[in-house]
Chain A
Amino acid sequence: MATPQPPTVSRRRFLAGAAGLASLGLAGCSADAAEATEIRFYQTKREVIPYIGDLLEQFRSEHPGIRPIHDTSEGTLNGQFVRSSPPDLALQLYNYEMARFQERGELSDLSDLPEAAMITDSVKEQLELYPTYPGRLSVLPYSMMSAAVVYNQEIFAQHDVEVPTTHSEFIAACETFQDAGVTPIYGTWADPWTIAQGLVDYTVGGMVDVINLFQQLRDLGPDVGPDSRVSFSKVLREPLEKMLALLPYHQGDANGRNYGDGNNAFANGQAAMYLQGPWALVEIGKINPDAQVGTFPLPMTEDPADNKVRVNLDLALWIPEHAKHRDEARELLRFLARPEIQDAYNEFALGFGVRTDAPPVRDPRIAPMQPYVDRGAVYQGVSQGIPTNIPFYNYCQDVVFGADLERMLATLDADWARLAKRA
């Protein structure tokens, strides 16, 4: 989620190239392998690759017997499992791709590590978004991201608008901006993922218990449909109708704008609000270091106590069951999980801690979300719970571009049922 995926080289070619390079690399390095054990460490979150690279450097000087190789080849993970050569250790997004490795028992158990006991209960609960492997702790959560409405504090002050705490206050704020000729919300709908993680996740998460929804849908499996007890048609309709009502508050050319355009426009004060996560704050800070921005949860009801922020387990550490050097991988895992290293990382990446003794976030841009995280007023993005074989991001884009909502939800129900038949 954190990194947008601009279309790049044909993936097939990329895979082929990466495989070729990997085999060359292995052949080339076997000479000095006698003294140090090489382990492959997979990590592709783009914004933090140099930072993690420095940590590996530090690890090498502490453990001369282990040489971690930093594998940052995006999009190759599934292929590595298919070829039975998974990495020894990974620090990756906890998303549906890795949930499949977890469900199929491809990841080793980490529950015996002392670090595992330190994870907070609310974070453990978030692991339940995906099917887990019975009796195992397959991943060690590392960093959590919290996302909400990003707003321009100067524009809010100029127009005397307070941070809204109910849905009608939010609509009123949008009206005020629109009447004053200010774009209320900047939309980047050319990138489907921005629609899913922003508009869709915020509106649904503000009204629906997402984890519970997916547990029920999983229980129903192939029986999900128009007549089932729980279905996308039944649960998502109301929030998504409310979402469609927010579309007129976006700028006119939102259809053709992408994530990069949005960061630029928002950093330069072209809109009052922007539905993006902390990863965008980093980019906005680069474009305009003086931008005064803050965050608040999108209120979806008339009760301020209902307000919640979107969280996702951003990064988690895991070791494949068939890793070649599990002991060495565990050394590196324990190094990265040291509180002083983990907390410093989270401060750098604007992440929230996942341990019971982790310090609160201090950055003023994301600090307003800390109270919500502390009292568990959080939800997972509904877009994160739908298997990637269902092109949900694209469906969201369809609806925002004007396709029929009922039909989209019916398709989603049918896709879910069809997928369950195949499992």
Chain B
Amino acid sequence: MTLTSTEAPTATAPAGLRPTPKRRPDATHLFFLLPTLIAFTLCIALPAVMGVFFSFTNSVGYGEWDFVGLANYQLMFTDPAIMASFWFTLWFSAVTVVATNVVAFLLAVGLTAQIRARVPLRAIFVIPMVVSPIIIAFVFHFLFAKTLPTAAQAVGFGPLEESILANPDLAWLSIVIVTAWQAVPQALLIFIAGLLAIPADLYEASALDGAGPWKQMKMITIPLMAGYIGINVIITFKNFLNAYDIIVGLTDGGPGTSTRSVAMTIFSGFETGDYAYQMATATIFFLITLAIAVVQLRLMRRKDQ
């Protein structure tokens, strides 16, 4: 948008990268956009606008309603349950982003090295991505609630003898573990693509200059992967902010209210007649996600240039 400054054309663009002259798109192109545009408007844009509209009312979703101005927003910001769900979601997302990307990066380095059975191993590590989150959550629920305590009791390991899902201080960790387990493959694929794009001669040249594996990692791999790391961090962060199904399957927001995500809080409004109020939460949440999306787009564009 604002990137094309007046100085840009004076820089000598290398041959072949000269931007194509801008033309108005013709009617045919617009016509092809139409189906998506209609679907997007009807299914996403319009409901979203209606939701924002209702956040200024006291509607329960049906029947009569009145305008209440900004009351929902005022009450929302003083509602400890909603604020707690925002903090939980941000904290959980931040921790899971780190866990997911560190694990995925290390795995990617391992899976691009000259090891045996590289390709079948890659396929195995991608499996969690294709299983439905709710099924994963149920399987892990069983593992955390039954298998792990039984195993811990058998070997007499005190801290894990009680289900960690029942521990208000630790339940969130189980969600981090399961979410990361499922999110690693996608990040892994992007990292593998990035690693394969680094020219091998860089490593050869540095090896001749006496660089060891650690130095190569620090001086070559990580700097050249910076763009991929950035994109992965943003994509995973945005996904984790919407955490819903895995939490529902594992802890259902408990114990107590210790693991309620924003998405769960918003959806509860639909079930409990708190429609307008939770629409206010949704609107604020939308603005937060929008900000993150803008950052994401910026970063991606910078990588393109």
Residues of A within 8 A of B (CB): 7-12, 75, 78-79, 81-82, 84, 96-97, 100, 104-106, 189-190, 192, 253, 255-256, 258, 387-389, 391, 394-395, 397-398, 401-403, 411, 414-415, 418, 421-423
Q: Can you report 19 residue pairs joining A to B where beta carbons are below 8 Å apart?
A: A8-B134, A12-B267, A104-B63, A105-B63, A190-B255, A192-B256, A253-B149, A255-B162, A388-B273, A389-B268, A389-B272, A394-B260, A395-B256, A398-B168, A398-B255, A398-B256, A418-B78, A422-B68, A422-B274
Chain A, residue nearest B68 (CB): A422
- Residue A189 contacts which of B72, B78, B166 (CB distance < 8 angstroms)? B166
Listed stretches B119-127, B231-239, B245-253, B292-300; interface member: B245-253
B168 — which chain A residues lie within 8 A by C-beta? 398, 401-403
Q: How far is the CB of A409 from chain B (nearest CB, A)?
A: 14
B residues less than 8 Å from A258 (CB atoms): 145
Q: Which one of B61, B72, B248, B252 lies within 8 Å of A82 (CB-CB)?
A: B61
Complex A-B, nearest 9 residue pairs according to Cβ-Cβ distance, in ascending order? A398-B256, A256-B163, A82-B61, A255-B166, A388-B272, A104-B63, A256-B166, A81-B62, A389-B272
* B257 adjacent to chain A (CB < 8 Å): yes
Q: In the complex, which of the residues B64, B68, B79, B267 contacts A418, with contact meaning CB atoms closer than 8 Å? A: B79
Q: Are the CB atoms of B166 and A387 closer together than 8 Å?
A: no
Contact between B272 and A397, CB atoms less than 8 A apart: no
Which residues of B lie under 8 Å from residue A394 when comparing CB positions?
Answer: 253-257, 260
Chain A residues whose C-beta falls within 8 Å of the C-beta of B75 in the assembled complex? 418, 421-422
- Find chain B residues with CB under 8 A from A10 CB: 134, 244-245, 248
Q: Are A398 and B166 in contact (CB under 8 A)?
A: no
Complex CA distance for A192 and B71, rounded to whole angstroms? 31
Q: Which residues of A contact B63 (CB under 8 A)?
A: 104-106
User: Which chain A residue lies CB-closest to B64?
Assistant: A104
Residues on A with beta carbons closer than 8 Å to the beta carbon of B78: 418
Say yes or no: A79 contacts B248, CB within 8 Å: no
Contact A401 B62 (CB under 8 A): no
Query: Do residues A422 and B277 form an inter-chain contact, with CB atoms below 8 A?
Result: yes
Q: Which residue from chain B places its CB closest to the CB of A255 in the assembled complex?
A: B166
Q: Number of residue pairs across A and B with beta carbons under 8 Å?
A: 118
Question: Which of A192, A389, A395, A418 touches B273 (beta carbons < 8 Å)?
Answer: A389
Report yes or no: B273 in contact with A190, Cβ–Cβ below 8 A.
no
Q: A10-B134, A79-B270 are in contact. Are A422 and B72 (CB under 8 A)?
A: yes
- Give the complex CA separation of A320 and B80 in angstroms: 35
A4 → chain B closest CB, angstroms: 11
- Whether, in the assembled complex, B271 has its beta carbon less than 8 Å from a beta carbon of chain A, the answer is yes
The verdict on B284 contacting chain A, using a C-beta distance below 8 Å, is no
Task: Name the interface residues of B14-39: CB closer than 8 Å to any CB of A.
Answer: none
**B194 neighbours in A (Cβ, 8 Å):** none
Take A7-B248, A190-B166 as given contacts and tell me if A403 and B64 are in contact as well, using a CB distance cutoff of 8 Å.
no
B194 to chain A, nearest CB (A): 32
Q: Say whether A388 contacts B256, CB under 8 Å.
A: no
Task: Judge if B275 is at the interface, Cβ distance under 8 Å.
Answer: yes
With A255-B166, A256-B163 known to touch, is A82 a contact of B145 (CB < 8 Å)? no
Specify the chain A residue showing the minimal Cβ separation from B167: A255
- CA separation between A236 and B166, bound complex, in Å? 25
Q: Which residues of B contact A421 (CB under 8 A)?
A: 71, 75
Contact of A100 among B60, B137, B145 (CB under 8 A): B60
Which residues in A have their C-beta under 8 angstroms from that of B254? 192, 394, 397
- Interface magnitude class on chain B: 35 or more
* Docked complex Cα distance between A401 and B168 (Å): 8
* Chain B residues closer than 8 Å to A189, beta-carbon distance: 166
Question: A258 CA to B252 CA in the complex, in Å?
Answer: 13
Contacts of B271 in A (CB 8 A): 11, 75, 78, 97, 388
Question: From residue A404, how far is it (CB to closest CB) to chain B in Å?
Answer: 12
Q: Are B267 and A391 in contact (CB under 8 A)?
A: no
List the B side residues contacting A389 at CB < 8 Å.
Answer: 268-269, 272-274, 277
Q: Is B288 an interface residue (CB 8 A)?
A: no
Which chain A residues lie closer than 8 Å to B167 at the CB level?
A: 255
Chain B residue with Cβ nearest A411? B80
Greatest chain A CB density within 10 A among B81, B149, B260, B268 is at B81
Given the complex of chains A and B, what is the CA–CA distance between A422 and B258 in angstroms?
25
Q: In whole Å, how far is A6's beta carbon from the nearest beta carbon of chain B?
A: 9
Residues of A within 8 A of B61 (CB): 78, 81-82
Contact status B58-A422, CB under 8 Å: yes
A190 touches B165 (CB 8 A): yes
Question: Smallest distance from the beta carbon of B100 to chain A beta carbons, Å?
Answer: 21
B residues near A190, Cβ cutoff 8 Å: 145, 163, 165-166, 255
Q: Judge whether A9 and B134 touch: CB under 8 Å.
A: yes
Q: Are A391 and B62 in contact (CB under 8 A)?
A: no
Instruction: Enumerate chain B residues within 8 angstroms of A104, measured Cβ to Cβ.
Output: 60, 62-64
Collect the chain A residues with CB atoms within 8 Å of residue B134's CB. Answer: 8-10
Nearest-CB residue, chain A, relative to B65:
A104
Nearest-CB residue, chain B, relative to A423 = B58
CB distance from B283 to the nearest CB of A (A): 16
In the docked arrangement, what's the CA distance between A79 and B258, Å? 27
Name the A residues within 8 Å of B273 (CB-CB): 78, 97, 100, 388-389
Cβ distance A264 to chain B, nearest Cβ, rounded Å:
13
Distance in angstroms between the alpha carbons of A106 and B270 in the assembled complex = 17
> B103-140 interface mask toward A, CB cutoff 8 Å, 1 = contact, 0 = none?
00000000000000000000000000000001001000
| Chain B positions 74 through 98: 1 when the CB is less than 8 Å from some CB of chain A, otherwise 0 | 0100111100000000000000000
Given A190-B165, A415-B81, A397:B256 Cβ within 8 A? yes
- By the criterion CB–CB under 8 Å, are A403 and B270 in contact? no
Closest Cβ of chain A to B149, distance in Å, is 7
Return chain A residues, CB-CB under 8 Å to B145. 190, 256, 258
Q: A96-B272, A256-B162, A422-B72 are in contact. List 20 more A-B contacts (CB 8 A).
A: A7-B252, A9-B134, A11-B267, A75-B271, A97-B271, A104-B60, A104-B63, A105-B63, A106-B63, A190-B145, A192-B256, A253-B162, A256-B149, A256-B166, A258-B145, A388-B271, A391-B257, A394-B254, A395-B256, A422-B58
Whether B274 contacts A82 by the Cβ 8 Å rule is no
Q: Report B158-180 CB contacts with A as 1/0, cut-off 8 Å.
A: 00001101111000000000000
